[in-house]
Structure 1
Amino acid sequence: MKAGLRLSACAFAMAAISSAPIYAQSATGENTGSAQAEQRASVFDDNIIVVTAQGRTQALSDVPIAVSAVGAEQLEKSGATDIRELNQLAPSLLVSSTGNEANGSARIRGIGTVGDNPGLESSVAVFIDGVYRSRSGNALSELGPIDRVEILRGPQGTLGGRNSSAGMINIATAQPEFTFSGHAAATYGNYDQIRLEGGVNAPLSENIAARIDGVFLKRDGFYNDVVNDTDVNNKDRYLVRGQLLIEPSETLSVRLIGDYSKKDESCCAATFVQPEFAPLARVSPGLDGFTRPQPGAPALTDPANPIIPVLLALGQNPNALNQSTFNRDIYITPGRSYAGETEDYGVSAEINAELGNINLTSITAYREYSNFQASDTDYTGVDILYREPNRNAGAREFKTFTQELRLQGSLFDDKLDWLIGGFYANEKLEVRDNLRFGTQYGAFAPCRVVNAVNPALASPTSTGCLSAGGRAALLAANGGAGAFGPATPLIFAGLDNLAQINDRGGTGDIYNQKSENFAFFTHNIFHVTDKLDLTVGLRYTNETKDFDATFGNDNTMCPTQRALFTPLLGGPLNALAAGIIGLSCQGNSTSELDGVSLSDSRNENEFTGTAILSYKPTENLMLYGSYSRGYKAGGFNLDRSALTKSTLVNPAVAGDTANLQFDQETVDAFEIGAKYSTREFSLSVAAFRQQFDSFQLNTFNGSVFLVQNINSCSDDLGGADRDTDGTTGACNPDNVKYGVVAQGLEMEASLNPIRDLNVTMGLTYTDTSYENNLVGRDTGTPLDPALRLLPGDNLSNAPELTATASLSYTPPIGNSGMSGLFYINARTTGDYNTGSDLLFGKEQDGYTLVNARIGLRGPDGRWSIEGWAQNLFDVDYTQVAFNTPFVASQQTYSAFLAEPRTYGITVRGRF
């Protein structure tokens, strides 16, 4: 279904007076990942941003690519302290997090990496001070003082740094200066928020300057865990960053950076989805969950839904089922926890040197990142699935070394600006997991089978979910032949076996992946005439990934059940036998894997590049057209559930990684645009079309995570990609083509009518959709049935229409030297589906968020006091709705909620 195009009256009012963030970009039109580009990069001169990159200085109107940039002052006014809060300032950007903030997702133009699987690289690459961060979720933490954030839209596959298929976020932190200065800020807000920030900058000599900055943040969680008397989704984090800037001569500079940050927080709880959030998601018992529901059907958590009485009988607090989706009381299993810990630290060195007429840039960095996250993984009060709070709980560790070298200069009387370079990355990733069935799984799982037979017979407090009377009724059915014929006693045995699967499962799964990436690139600007430029870039990338995994598991009942019920497969009791095996071995949780090791390797070679033609008919106007090709590496699904496509197959016997692998994603992008800029007004317009081959999609189907490439077939598959049969819908490999298209129009503007007033606006229309006749890999394999709603529909988390606006007014107060501050921004988003499988119960209506800040500032900005509010009108919306684990087939959904209204007061001082 196409997302709605509704805009609220509030958003229209804001759009009438405002426009989008201030913009800047590199001189070449692409991010180089260079700290040299960031040094003294933003110069605000009469409201025109001048950016210096690779030795070239250009104004916004001279750069032929779509990029948004936000300066330090606007970041401070907006209250943005991590990349998620940039949503309010850039309409084409959406940053969200779900079950684990360590793998938060950034999307640009509706395209991004979906889910929490660390095996998938980010579609939107994040660089901080020219250093690549392994996943975009790494930047979901305090960033400290920032000079500028650049958001590059569209594939970035030519210049330095990591490849990215959707875009790039480049963050430049405040660097040392040769003047003594300091700053401090203290904030107190609701949810007992305390945030302290401070730093000192000092020249150590004529050639050396040092800077140190620190941030501390503590805030209560906005979920109230009623059962365990604690709060969840709290904040408890800090950051320390130290820098040295060494300039021994005018032709040489060295910038050294070391930083350490830590988070000790509980994340991420969820609530049940109720009809007030997804009124179209209500379904009658027995209806296919993929079928649009009928009016008058019961609510998602209504007792008429047969799984709800089971949950209640096993101890689920009824309040959790009756309260609003956005009531932030949660009722989880006693003793379970969402506790987690994240550490992120690293060092980098950037060297910039002039070697005659050639400029050399070298950026060397080493970083380590680790995270573990416990969870009550079923999100209910029944102990069905969990991760213990230790360093094996959904843990991931990255150790990354990167090296970038660039040489740049000019030839032919400055008619050619040339650049050549190389990039190397060595990344070691370890994932550890201890996902286990809970202590009540044995009581819950048999009820799934009994509900499928006759919900009236379900007795959750009886062994196998059948009372003595229920068993007698089934034995007496069919004139005494038994409800299942001679197999009736076997079915009882299977249910009783299921009842024994309590606190069983993973005892320590370990995945190791080593990735080596090297690339060579060139990027050249030909000044054909004084008004016409041709930019040509080319990049060769080689990517190698070595994978190994070792599994630990104590679920001995899985092989027992498989041996008992495999003989029934293919016969009249096939569905029942498959269901019992599936519930016994869910997610490939089986002792057959205990001690099993697997290893494999994959190698990729890709050419990417860009070609841009730009023309300036007047000094203030530029027109351009471009083609670019981007790439995101393939890899391995670091999840044991993906070892086999069916739990009917023994994963230890399958013994290979074929089902774990997914192919590289490539994109061909076309863009035309125009930029107009004067001191008082700037306007940027871009139209784009992006075609993705082997699009990487990660989907949770209620039981396991699926990672599948998405392509399409030029032949008509006759609806075979929309059915429940995973064996139909194949395509001749010669007829496979791109499966995802993102196309649309972007407009950004800035108005500065007087010195103290700035108005901005951004508007993005994006039609991001799957093609019809979808298949999986480029070999033409059928689409997984869990994705059968995808053909012809929008992508998840990709609203068609998004608008942002801001107004900043800083009037002087008399002749005192003081000034006032009035700042407001808004983001309006159209309707969209938050679920990657596009189930109807996961749709989010359009909404508008407003942030505001008002304050008083002293002479020369030496001090200020500010009152602020984020999500001023306390709008309720979700980040992602998902299938509640193990009960999703009963049409029960849960949701990760976005933050409610927060407000507080901030005091700043600087010298």
Structure 2
Amino acid sequence: MIARFLLLASAAGASIITPSAFAQDAAQPAADEVQQPNVRGDVIVVTARRRQETAQEVPLAISVVKGDSIEATGNFNIVKLQQLAPTLQVYTTNPRNTSVNIRGLGVPFGLTSDGFEQGVGIYVDDVYNSRVAAATFDFLDVSQVEVLRGPQGTLYGKNTTAGAINITTNQPTFDFEGRAELSVGNLNYKQAKAAISGPLSETVAARIAIASTTRRGTLYNVTSKRWINEQDNLGIRGQLLFKPSEDFSITLSGDYSKQDPECCGTTFVRVGTTQRPIGRQYDALVAAINAANPGRNYAVPSRNPYDRLSDLDSNLNAGNKIGGVSAKIKWDVGPGTLTSVTAWRFWDWKPENDRDFTGLSVVSRSQNPSQQDQYSQEFRYNYESKDVDFVVGLFGFKQRIDTQGTEQQGADAARWSLTGANAANPATLQGLTASNTQYLKADSAALFGQLSWKVTDALTIQPGVRLNYDKKSGYYERVVTNAQGQAISCTATPAPGTIAGTTSQCGVYQPQVSAPSDSAWNFTYDFNVNYKVTRNILAYATYAKSFKTLGINQNGLPLNADNTVNYDASTVKPESVNHFELGLKTQFWDRRATFNLSAFRTEIKDFQATVNGGQFGTVRGYLANAEKVRSQGIEADFKVVVSDRFTAYANGAYTDAKYKKFTNAPCPPELSGGTITTNPALWSPAGQAGTATTPSYSRPQCDISGQDLPGVSKWAFSYGAEYNVPVTLLAKDGQVYLGVDGNYRSHWNSNASPSIYTEVKGYALTNFRAGFRGEGFDVFGWVRNAFDVNYIENLQVAPGNTGLIAGQVGDPQTWGGTIKFSF
């Protein structure tokens, strides 16, 4: 049901986050209700079904975060947004490698491949963003953000299996208005925003907005003597509205965002013992490198990640350019509305990474720059009458991504990766370079529709269907060259123009060529029944049969145990999704209080998981199918508007997301690194290193059935409250206010095959703000992570099964002030 909530219009209110139930009435609101605040609660008006209706009437779990609340709480991008929405999980190691999940499902957690689809759709003003990385921009002139939970797609747009994040920006106005905002804080934080809107003629209006954010990094690199993981963001958006009549309008939009930080580095977190020989574990390898280089005495600057020290020796960069143009046409035709949305978007990604996560020169260079173009066209027609409403439409999508990658071995690579005489000679691997060229072509088309039949004044039945076609074709070529620039082969007979690579070289990088291609038709449907028990109570039940289309592995294929390429892993099957949900939306205490409750169960066959093989010779993450996954849980949203002076909210979620069956998953580090055997009687205990007399034996794959999905906290809560007092200050009438908001997430695991070494502890964050606001202005100070809680945002397993675990620590306490003006 994605289309219903792409356009949401809200009224004034002081709440921080507004669940869907924070609507005034179940009946259609009058015009003055839409615009005027009321002590009984906020009026949240949904117009996505081409008529005004309160959000309480919509049978779907949805949370709405208003633009003012985003600014007040400092949650200025999707990554930060999870602090306000408990069922949203966003994890990132850099903009490209960002996972956005709802209820534990969506994008495969871990390093990203271009060959899969998102399970969580990200939309900006009706335009679908195909890659999560292309939506990591700062929120710019945003009206509100909606987080929709559960499968979406039978109304219009791209199909998504877990939910959607819909971002609605402020639109051009025929009344002149403007706003400006400036924030400064510690860590050299500076953020400036401005927007202006008004008429160019009686039928044309325009709006332009710009924003800039900079901040010093939070991790100090002792090698480069610089703070890294900084923020350096710039964004601009322009819109032109042509409205010759009330029945017809055209909106032209263009936007451009640029991010150019020195990012994204990691720090040492811990070492865990694997099943590798004891001399091939992290600490032993560091000792061997120091012994081979007298006087070097390498050691990490700190083994406490909260000292915020790193010693990465490779260049770091996370250059990200995002932009595009769109044209939206709306035409009221008789009892319905015809809408066309045409869009082109681009994404340019220029990274540099330190893939070995250390100050040693193991991998001296690692980068995979990409360029994406996407085109989308959507037509839909919405009809409404007293008893029957429906939406029918067409969606077309075309995408191409080109990537040029380079990875190179450094002076310490031989000692790190090899044994015997080869390990003692740095030239064995130094300068060995893997250069890859790849592209992905993806085409998608869909026919969709949903009917809403009002059987009685209380009972409504809503069936929906979708017919979808997807085609993906890719190409991947890796050329491996030695230090002299000669291309090598790893086959018995070298290919023309190449020389035979050594066993050591081929054990690290192997030339590869693959060209996976596949297509699939899918027919899906959903069925919703909702019943208005009373004026202020709505109950609903939903069943959805959904899918995520096929995927292809675009970043190189894993190797078999004999170091040959596993071409069977080039494609992954589509996901098959069965979703069940029950919900209750209520209001009471003269509608001053709102309480929503939903219970869900989602079962997925052939779940597309990102797995980690621990190899240098491939990208660490690649796609594989888990036989079955299940996510189930309960969500609750509560808000109370006690008076014009005080409001509060509390939202919570319990999510139980597990691999129900995944029998051939890569093993976690504690069960990896030993001699591979298929004999269960020889398998060594977890974390038992091999010795000269007692080697350790590892499983070829692991059965992780019954274990939790990565990135999912079982318990998540968010809360907030605000109290204000009317005062006159400096001859200005206004309100002095104090606000608090916070969130808690229980522990979770950050490895696709859950590991005892990648368990992330739960944490709670608390933020305060206090200020003075009146008509046209707002001045306030803020403290975020007020109690300076130490917490980890993500953990990564270093390649090679050495036991090294690196991570990214969360922001420390930050503080500052903000001034806002509007007219």
TM-score by length of 1: 0.78
User: For the residues of structure 2 that align with 1:552 and 1:282, how far apart are their CA atoms?
Assistant: 34
Q: 1:851: how far off?
A: 1.9
CA contact (8 A) 2:635 2:653 kept: yes
Whole-angstrom CA distance in 2 between matches of 1:386 and 1:54: 54
What one-letter code is carried by the residue in structure 2 that aligns with 1:632?
K
The structure where strand makes up a greater share of residues is: 2
The residue matched to 1:95 in structure 2 has which SS?
strand
Output the amino acid matched with 1:53.
A
CA distance in 1, matches of 2:507, 2:86: 40
Residues 406-448 of structure 1, C-alpha deviations (whole Å, 9 max, x = no match): 111135xx211011101000111112211121232123322xx
Of 326, 351, 362, the match for 2:306: 326
- For the residue of structure 2 that corresponds to 1:238, the secondary structure is strand
The answer on whether the counterparts of 1:158 and 1:609 sit within 8 Å (CA) in structure 2 is: yes
Pairing 1:648–2:563 present? yes
| 1:217-239 Cα distance to aligned partner (Å, 9 max, x none) | 11111111111122211111100
CA contact (8 A) 1:445 1:499 kept: no
Deviations 1:73-120 (A, max 9, x none): 22222122111111121110011211x312311111112322222323
- CA 1:560/1:254 → structure 2, altered by over 3 Å: closer, same or farther? closer
1:284-323 correspondence to structure 2 within 5 Å:
305-313=283-291, 318-320=298-300, 322-323=302-303
**Is the CA contact 1:43–1:50 (under 8 Å) kept in the aligned structure 2?**
no
Match of 2:777 among 835, 838, 863: 863
Residues in 1 aligned to 2:49 and 2:725: alpha-carbon distance in whole angstroms? 37
Distance 1:273 1:320 in 2: 10
**Matched residues in 1 for 2:287 and 2:633: separation?**
47
Structure 1 counterpart of 2:372, from 353, 377, 398: 398
Deviation for aligned residue 1:283:
7.0
> Equivalent of 1:62, from 40, 57, 61?
57
> Can you list the C-alpha shifts for 1:304-351, whole angstroms capped at 9, x where unaligned?
x42331354477875526430222111122xx2112311111001111
Q: Which moved more, 1:548-557 or 1:241-250?
A: 548-557
| Deviation of the 1:647 alpha carbon | 5.5
Per the alignment, residue 850 of structure 1 pairs with 766
Q: 2:605 aligned to 693, 702, 724, which one?
A: 693
Asked if 1:256 corresponds to 2:258, the answer is no
- With over 3 angstroms needed to count, the CA separation of the structure-2 counterparts of 1:811 and 1:288, relative to structure 1, is farther
2:724 maps to 1:810:
yes
Aligned amino acid, residue 743 of structure 1: Q
More helix by share: 1
Q: Give the one of 507, 519, 530 matched to 2:446.
A: 519
Q: Gapped runs of 5+ residues in structure 2?
A: 1-13, 24-31, 494-501, 667-677, 679-697
**Equivalent in 744, 748, 755 of residue 637 of structure 2:** 748
Aligned twin of 1:500: 428
Matched, 1:537 2:459: no
> Residue 734 of structure 1 corresponds to which residue in structure 2?
none
Shift of 1:612: 0.5
> 673-682 vs 414-423, which deviates more?
673-682
Is residue 611–residue 624 contact of structure 2 (8 Å, CA) maintained in 1? no
Q: 1:378: how far off?
A: 0.6
C-alpha displacement of 1:555:
4.0
- The alignment partner of 2:481 has SS state of coil
Aligned counterpart, 2:652? 763
Task: Quickly say closer, same or farther: Cα 1:282–1:356, change in 2 above 3 A.
Answer: same
Tell me the secondary structure at the aligned position of residue 839 of structure 1.
coil
Cα deviation per residue 1:561-617 (whole Å; 9 max; x = unaligned)?
8869xxxxxxxxxxxxxxx95x53346x23x54xxx543421011112210111111
Aligned residues of 1:145 and 1:213 also touching (Cα < 8 A): yes
- The offset of 1:773, in angstroms, is 6.1
Aligned to 1:178: 174
Aligned equivalents of 1:42, 1:91: Cα separation in 2: 28
The one-letter code of the counterpart of 2:67 is A
Matching residue of 2:671 = none
CA distance in 1 between counterparts of 2:553 and 2:752 reads: 17
> Aligned runs of 1:558-637 on 2, under 5 Å?
581=503, 584-586=505-507, 589-590=509-510, 592-593=511-512, 597-637=513-553
The TM-score with structure 2 as length reference comes to 0.86
Q: 1:128 and 1:232, CA in 2 relative to 1: closer, same or farther beyond 3 A?
A: same
Give the SS at the match of 1:464.
helix
How do residues 217-296 of structure 1 correspond to structure 2 at under 5 angstroms? 217-274=213-270
Cα 1:323/1:693, change in 2 over 3 Å: same
Are residue 216 (structure 1) and residue 216 (structure 2) matched? no
Query: Counterpart of 2:375 in structure 1: which amino acid?
Result: F
Contact 2:476–2:556, Cα closer than 8 Å, also in 1 = no
**CA apart distance, 1:157:** 2.9
Distance 1:53 1:639 in 2: 39
> Which whole-Å CA distance do the structure 2 matches of 1:352 and 1:805 have between them?
38
User: 2:52 is paired with a residue of what secondary structure?
Assistant: strand
Work out whether 1:384 is the aligned partner of 2:362.
yes
Candidates 638, 661, 678, aligned match of 2:554: 638
Instruction: Give me the whole-angstrom Cα distance separating, in 1, the residues matched to 2:813 and 2:464.
Output: 46
Structure 1 position 268, deviation (Å): 1.2
Whole-angstrom distance in 2 between the partners of 1:287 and 1:441: 18
| 3-state secondary structure, aligned to 1:817 | strand
| CA separation of 1:419 and 1:330: change in aligned 2, threshold 3 A | same
Distance in 1, matches of 2:186 and 2:149, equals 35
Unaligned runs of 5+ in 1: 1-17, 28-39, 276-280, 290-299, 451-462, 467-495, 565-579, 713-738
Partners of 1:182 and 1:138 lie apart in 2 by 28
| Correspondence for 1:375 among 353, 369, 374 | 353
Match of 2:193 among 180, 191, 197: 197
Give the CA deviation at 1:706. Answer: 4.4
Gap change, CA 1:48 and 1:560, over 3 Å in 2: closer
SS in 1 for 2:417: helix
Residue-by-residue CA offset, 1:359-415 (whole Å, 9 max, x unaligned): 101111000111011112111111111436xxxx3112210110111111135xx21
Report the RMSD for the aligned CA atoms in angstroms.
3.0
2:398 to 392, 406, 426: 426
> Does 1:72 find its partner at 2:86?
no
> How far, CA to CA, are the matches of 1:560 and 1:54 in structure 2?
60
Among the aligned pairs, what percent are the same residue?
27
Q: Tell me how far apart the structure 1 counterparts of residues 482 and 460 of structure 2 sit (CA, whole Å).
A: 65
Provide the C-alpha distance between the structure 1 equivalents of 2:607 and 2:542, rounded to a whole number of angstroms.
Answer: 22
What amino acid is the match of 2:449? T
Match of 1:102 in 2: 96
1:707-761 Cα deviation digits (max 9, x unpaired): 343344xxxxxxxxxxxxxxxxxxxxxxxxxx10000100011110101322111
Matched residue, 1:338 = 316
Counterpart residue identity of residue 578, structure 2: D
Q: Distance in 2 between matches of 1:21 and 1:625?
A: 25
Structure 1 residue 48 displacement after superposition: 2.6
Mean CA deviation greater in 695-704 or 665-674: 695-704
1:881 and 1:381, CA in 2 relative to 1: closer, same or farther beyond 3 A?
A: same
2:641 corresponds to 1:663: no
CA deviation map 1:759-780 (0-9, x unaligned): 1111100110111463579xxx
For 2:289 and 2:601, the matched residues in 1 are separated by: 47
> Residue 332 and residue 708 in structure 1: after superposition, are their counterparts in 2 closer, same or farther (change >3 A)?
closer
Look up the equivalent residue of 2:304 and give its one-letter code.
Answer: S
TM superposition shift of 1:867: 1.1
For residues 423 and 305 of structure 2, the distance between their equivalents in structure 1, rounded to whole angstroms, comes to: 29
Q: Conserved in 1, the CA contact under 8 Å of 2:665 and 2:703? A: no
Check 1:318–1:550 CA distance in 2 against 1; reply closer, same or farther (3 A cut). Answer: closer
Pair 1:464 & 2:422 matched: yes
Query: After superposition, what is the alpha-carbon deviation per residue over 1:427-477, rounded to whole angstroms, capped at 9, x for unaligned?
Result: 11112211121232123322xx35xxxxxxxxxxxx5346xxxxxxxxxxx
Equivalent residue for 2:787?
Answer: 873
Question: CA–CA distance in 2 between the matches of 1:909 and 1:599?
Answer: 55
**Alignment CA distance shift 1:747-1:785 (3 Å):** farther
Question: Is 2:665–2:701's contact at 8 Å kept on the other side of the alignment?
Answer: no
- Classify 1:213/1:647 alpha carbon distance in 2 versus 1 (closer, same or farther; 3 Å): farther
Could you give the per-residue CA deviations for residues 809-845 of structure 1, whole angstroms, max 9, x where no partner exists? 2331159422123221111111111211211011011
Structure 2 vs 1, CA of residues 183 and 238 (structure 1 numbering), >3 Å: closer, same or farther? same
Aligned pair in 2 of structure 1 residues 506, 188: CA closer, same or farther (>3 Å)?
A: same
